[in-house]
Structure 1
Amino acid sequence: MPDGRGLDRRTLLQLAGVSAGALALGIAAPERALGATRAPDGAFALGVASGAPTPEGVVLWTRLAPEPLAADGLGGMPQQPTAVQWEVADDELFRRVVLRGTVVALPELAHAVHPQVRGLQPGRRYFYRFRVGTQTSPVGRTRTAPAPGTTPARLVLATASCQSWAAGHYSAHRHLAAADVDLVVFLGDYVYERGLRDADVARRGAAPLGPEHAAEAATLAQYRLRYGLYKSDPHLRAAHASAPWLVTWDDHEVQDDYAGDRSAAGVPADAFLLRRAAAYRAHYEHLPLPPSALPVGPRGTVQGRTDWGRLARLVVLDTRQHRAPAATTPAELADPSRSVLGRRQEAWFHQSLRSSSAAWDVVASSVVVRPVSPRETDQWDGYPVARRRLLRHLARSADPVLVSGDIHRHHAAEVPSDPDDPTSPPAAVELVTSSIASGRDGGVDDGPRVPWMAAPYARFWDGRRGYVRLDVTPRETTSSFVVVPYVEADDRAEGRVVARFVTERGRHRLERA
């Protein structure tokens, strides 16, 4: 089995283990399809979330899991379908419920549901919750996108990435949850596949981990268990409940440094594709992704675009699933057929920029685009010809803003239009968010600051944990880099803005605010 493209649809559906009919029950269910109407106490231990906002609706999410750390990955649920009700209201007390419905939580999808809510008003804030039996979930807050053709006065979004649970507390998520943003863009490494041992866990006072956590995740049960552990964190749950999320993945959701269908650790191709299928499935089960994102075997869909009226088009890229393996020779490095996005996604990205009528195109890439060094083979540096194509596409955008993650440090740069000429005019600005926890406490000058800041187009570096906030208006985008001073000792660190930049329309520059 050399790659997923060679499998027929029936085989892929068997690998996925979910039929189209079963998937539909997790989105909207007729009365005749309802299953059990009760669940064990504590069914909403993993919280609630929303995502994929459109002018008329959003995707809601929850997973029934009264025992999220059950070693079998089943969450403590009886292995039978369970009816789940959802409600959307204008107010937090649910005095004015505007829509309600019922879905079926299926054991095939770990009792996760992804109802697609339609019929809401554009550009509005709403509240939502779920019910099963006599249990009611926490309340989530969400927002619909503005109406097409309108230009809202403002979009506030936050970017985050890299949240190794073992590396420290999620204080940055606590701060983000209280920041009142319209949208969160998560840029990858939501979970880490590596095995966990008590000695490796930086969180002081963390509960002892059972032996099932020590294994590297490779099966569906193990990936489900890992997501259950991460989503047991109250601050991550609060961040999900505070705003709708757009999500992409990087490598650790499957395996460190994997590229396309190739394992970086030498796992045979057929075994690795089965592992990728399990990882992609668990990712879908635990995040507010639209039903179109349900993987078919080892193939998934996280790329997408969201229009915020005529103010901003948000384009989310998949930089991992379709990429060519890392180059091992100069000839391979210069090979024009090597791609980060794959041929089809490159064409889709080109069309997304060409058809955009927004004032700003915000492009989410899990890995850093700006030139650093040919040794940075896991970044866009490892795909120089593909990066030139990317920059040519960006030239078709009036005002592109790149948001990236992966390197566990805050960084800001003006990306040169010619990667071989650092003095060439900038093609875009790039705002790289640090990690939520990966890298432990870090420090102001932590990591490879000198080579990254040596380029004339580099503007900022900070090696502490945190997230980036973008305030987008028709005239300018303001980027604020938020840090927390520590993550290892406890979860009480306060966040503060350590740098702020303004990018004016049409300039592709970062000016200190």
Structure 2
Amino acid sequence: MIQLSDVPERSEELRSAARHFGRRRFLTVTGAAAALAFATGLPAAGAAAAAELDGRRVAEDPFTLGVASGDPLPGSVLLWTRLAPRPFEPDGGLPAHRISVHWELAHDERFTRVVRRGRATAHPEFGHTVHVEAEHLDPGRTFFYRFRVGDWTSPVGRTRTAPAPWARNTALKLAAVSCQAYHDGYFTAYGHLAREDVDVVFHLGDYLYEYAVNATGGARAHTDRTLPAVFDRETLTLDDYRLRYALYKTDPDLRAAHAAHPFVVTWDDHETENNYAGGIPENSVPPEEFLLRRAAAYRAYWEHQPLRAPQRPQGPDMRLYRRLSFGRLARFDILDTRQYRSDQAYGDGWQVPGPESENPARTLTGATQERWLLDGWRRSRARWNVLPQQVVFAERRDRPSADFLLSMDSWDGYPASRQRILAGADAAGVENLMVLTGDVHVGYGLDIKADFRDPASRTVGTEIVATSISSGRNGAERPANHARLHQANPHLRFYDGRRGYVTVALGEDGARADFRTVPYVTTPGAPVATAASFVTEAGDPGLKPA
């Protein structure tokens, strides 16, 4: 991994700032956060450029990265865009001036029935991104939106508000996606998802990867463009992360999916660095130095996602866990299993479980987030309680013998933390628990057991694992360990190694999961098909073939 000390022009400034504070707890105070912001080029909230640029002076299309919406509430939705006429330049090709952006929200795609309009400011301090919280909207309704700067108009996006809290809605269809390494292939699955009839998309992490992308785009050898050298290095600074988001958002299929559906996002590790744990980096980088990198990564993540103001980071801290409800049918508790976790036991790979991994003090969520989740479940009246999160929740042994290994980076490396979550769900009377997961680049369907050591124990929930969009390049329908994993884990109902996404239709009486796959991603144009479908009945958890 590249370290900041390998980049002379960045190293001394960052190390000088890092000397002023030590462990992570000091970074939560105002003075240290300001020092951290200064060191990473992150202006304090409320900073403004000295001048405003007339939008009529923007000579090139500023909407190269498309539009997006997210976090739908009954009367509100978040609208996003970024002004970047030249997306492969650190400043997007714009001067360090404020720019006024006009926005419209309408009932129809031609904007003959506009219901809301307004003006927002794209600040250079936030990469000329725009986050508009469109409010006072009708619940449970589809809207269309667009932005304007000078003579330029953005692509039209479609979004939807959530049903009213008291609504007795009987159906909701969601999609779950994860893991989209640009250098591993095309985002073909997103093109198909853009044409699906879904209410909301949950992105479960690894929206981008920090690794270098060469001039040919890695596996995208069929792309008829040469990428500049700015991408051929690991992301470390705010400029690096901003450029990497710009690269990803130039993908037409990703832009199409964002324009078609509201997204609810959460991160995993690669948005910052592979397998980091809280304030602990993957390799032997000093903690102060890693937190500078984390602050830059978190800032760029918020800038480039359809997230609301409460999620805006403060230095290296960002509250991403939050709760959304869709009438009485479903409630979603979106988790962050990276920022607050204990360090992985025995390293971050597959290991023999032992006293260190089974230590009851270990946590994947942190105590505050865990308490928030369990308290929320006690107040929930939703038919389905859904947990969108990052890493595999159910136990996953690698072999059907006593010397099995478990992934220390997943919930298997934090079994006491998992047991507290399950005990809290049981105490709250949660009958229809569904966990949505990403991370592992395969599709799984899993029954969640009260005691994974006893295959005959009660099934208490369902886990749906969405495969990757492109990470891992072309997958296989039956990976080499297909039979072994099924033998080792009787609660594993489905396993497929191809790329794609999953859709889940929730109803009052049950839910249906369709695993949608594409046969290849290293060349464009792959078709999509349903690999398998499963159902789970309300009040009777567990997956059955549809």
TM-score grouping bracket, smaller chain normalisation: over 0.9
- Residues 133 and 385 of structure 1: is their aligned pair in 2 closer, same or farther, counting only changes over 3 Å? same
- From 253, 260, 276, the counterpart of 2:294: 276
What secondary structure is seen at the aligned counterpart in 1 of 2:183?
helix
1:281 Cα deviation from its structure 2 partner: 0.5
- From 227, 232, 235, the counterpart of 1:209: 227
1:406-432 CA deviation, whole Å, 9 max, x = no partner?
010011010111122222111111000
Paired AA for residue 482 in structure 1: R
1:323 Cα deviation from its structure 2 partner: 0.5
What secondary structure is seen at the aligned counterpart in 2 of 1:215?
coil
1:453 Cα deviation from its structure 2 partner: 1.8
Paired AA for residue 197 in structure 1: N
- Are the aligned partners of 1:483 and 1:497 in contact in 2 as well (CA < 8 Å)? yes
TM-score (norm 2): 0.89
Q: Which runs of 5+ in 1 are unaligned?
A: 26-31
1:89-112 CA deviation, whole Å, 9 max, x = no partner?
010000011001111101100000
Q: Does 1:183 align with 2:217?
A: no
1:254 Cα deviation from its structure 2 partner: 0.5
Q: Does 1:6 align with 2:47?
A: no
Q: Which runs of 5+ in 2 are unaligned?
A: 1-20, 347-352, 398-404
1:390 Cα deviation from its structure 2 partner: 1.5
Match of 2:342 in 1: 324
1:450 Cα deviation from its structure 2 partner: 3.5
Q: Does 1:290 align with 2:308?
A: yes
Q: Does 1:473 align with 2:473?
A: no
1:4 Cα deviation from its structure 2 partner: 3.4
CA distance in 2, matches of 1:95, 1:325: 54
CA distance in 2, matches of 1:139, 1:22: 30
- From 210, 223, 230, the counterpart of 1:193: 210
- Are the aligned partners of 2:51 and 2:97 in contact in 1 as well (CA < 8 Å)? no
Q: Does 1:264 align with 2:282?
A: yes
What secondary structure is seen at the aligned counterpart in 1 of 2:340?
coil
Match of 2:496 in 1: 462
CA distance in 1, matches of 2:118, 2:182: 34
Describe how 1:68-87 pairs up with structure 2 within 5 A. 68-70=87-89, 73-87=90-104
TM-score (norm 1): 0.95
Describe how 1:143-158 pairs up with structure 2 within 5 A. 143-158=160-175
- From 390, 409, 418, the counterpart of 2:421: 390
- Are the aligned partners of 1:35 and 1:104 in contact in 2 as well (CA < 8 Å)? no
1:33 Cα deviation from its structure 2 partner: 9.8
What secondary structure is seen at the aligned counterpart in 1 of 2:542?
coil
Q: Which moved more, 1:202-211 or 1:249-258?
A: 202-211
CA distance in 1, matches of 2:506, 2:183: 34
Describe how 1:94-493 pairs up with structure 2 within 5 A. 94-198=111-215, 201-206=218-223, 207-328=225-346, 330-373=354-397, 374-395=405-426, 396=428, 397-446=430-479, 448-454=481-487, 455-490=489-524, 492-493=525-526
Describe how 1:31-110 pairs up with structure 2 within 5 A. 36-38=54-56, 39-70=58-89, 73-110=90-127
The alignment's C-alpha RMSD in Å is 1.7
CA distance in 1, matches of 2:381, 2:442: 32
- Residues 10 and 89 of structure 1: is their aligned pair in 2 closer, same or farther, counting only changes over 3 Å? farther
CA distance in 1, matches of 2:443, 2:52: 48
1:275-322 CA deviation, whole Å, 9 max, x = no partner?
000000010111100111111000012111110000000111001010
What secondary structure is seen at the aligned counterpart in 1 of 2:540?
coil
1:198 Cα deviation from its structure 2 partner: 4.2
- Residues 36 and 422 of structure 1: is their aligned pair in 2 closer, same or farther, counting only changes over 3 Å? farther
Identity among equivalent pairs (%): 44
1:187-223 CA deviation, whole Å, 9 max, x = no partner?
0000000112247711132222222211100100001
Q: Does 1:494 align with 2:514?
A: no
CA distance in 2, matches of 1:393, 1:405: 23
1:158 Cα deviation from its structure 2 partner: 0.1
Paired AA for residue 477 in structure 1: A
Paired AA for residue 11 in structure 1: A
